[in-house]
Chains A and B, each alone.
Chain A
Amino acid sequence: MTNKYSVEEIIKRSGANPLKCMKCGKCSATCPAYDEMEYHPHQFVSMIADGDIEALVKSDSIYRCLSCFACVERCPRGVEPAKLIEALKLEVIRKKGQNYLTPNDIPNMLNEDLPQQAIVSAFRKYTK
């Protein structure tokens, strides 16, 4: 592997603190995308806190977060899991050739009702 991922950078960029987590699991309990994920929000937090992110950076789970901030709002310790997930995702897609979505993918995803907002939002989250 030539790509090196920095846990320190991820935490700093997120502005969140995974060490505040008391492992109650509320973030995963309230996550509307829970069923779609291989690793769930509480696992994101503990894996980042432990510096053990190898499996996370390779998992599609980082693209399943809806950025709905339910976990951020409802965490009793103010850990803000969605911000950690976002920072980790940026660490991946900022590497050359690792965009999750490219303009070439778009034509096949279009239908006549699709709002522009869906496309710009997806690019903001999946592509650098």
Chain B
Amino acid sequence: MKMSYFPGCTLKNKATDLDVYARLSAEALDIMLEEIENWQCCGGMFTSSNDEVATKLSSVRVLNSAFKKGQDLVTVCSACHNVVKQTNNAMQTDSEFASKVNNYMGEDKYEGQTKIYHYLEMLRDVVGFEKIKEKVVNPLKGKKIGAYYGCLLLRPSKVMAMDNPENPTILEDFIRAIGAEPVIYAQRNECCGGYVTLESPNSAKKQSNRVLENAKANGAELIITACPLCLYNLKKSGANIPVVYFTELLAEALGLKEQTND
């Protein structure tokens, strides 16, 4: 099956692991990810105000590229997913906004038709966790893993609609599918400190530390995330626990990780 793929800026640079392992694993699961041509950065954060138009055009162009190919769109970075999905929702529900956007689009009018999957949703809804279990050759047996959702995957839940925003299970189901044991902890859907880390690193450090100490207290040995900024903040928090992208563990469980080391 072919799907359009929007990696986003950070996956081409500091978060290449998130991207490389996502592509490799998708291929092994019979999904061909076709990268959108000439995509631009989504901007990292959705601006909720309804008179912000130009800042959302790059997302609309990505959505429209997938639409024109007749494909569903896959994202893997939590931030890209949040921005693109909220933009699509605005195109569907706010006609004044949509008409302003389409004034920039020339002949390429767009009305919010594209279906967007976060990579995790693709695993759950397109591939199926059962099929992943069958394809696992290197189950991560006995590994206690804390899923870190953060904020962008889940909220606002009316729009993101990925999972229950207060008691999500998609990452825990993923952890079970690769043969490991999920650790549930209260702070898994609280913010890591986000972009505030740029001008107020200590504030972000405090938020991230609170998350990780809570995960450790519940027995987690390893944390997984889908977001490059979460990964950065969690790693800088001073809490002594490894943090990796979920795609890396997927590739490891599927026996693909060795292939990338040459």
Contacts and interface: CB of A to CB of B under 8 A. Distances in A.
The yes or no verdict on A and B being binding partners is yes
Interface of A: 13-15, 32-33, 35-36, 63-64, 66-70, 72-73, 82-83, 86-87, 90, 101, 105, 109, 113-122, 124-126
B156 A69 contact: yes
A86 B49 CA distance: 7
A83 B48 contact: yes
B79 A117 contact: yes
5 contacts: A13-B51, A32-B210, A72-B156, A73-B157, A83-B48
Contacts of A67: 45, 151, 194
Task: List the 5 shortest-distance A-B pairs measured between CB atoms, nearest first.
Answer: A121-B44, A68-B191, A68-B151, A121-B195, A69-B155
B191 A32 contact: yes
Interface in B119-158: 150-151, 154-157
B156 A124 contact: no
B196 A115 contact: no
Given A115-B15, A120-B44, A124-B43, 6 more contacts: A15-B50, A32-B193, A64-B196, A90-B47, A115-B14, A118-B232
B10 A117 contact: yes
A contact face: mostly helix, strand, loop, or mixed: helix
Nearest to B227: A117
B215 to A, nearest CB: 15
Given A14-B48, A116-B14, A73 B191 contact: no
B13 interface: yes
Contacts of B150: 68
A69 B55 CA distance: 19
Nearest to B43: A124
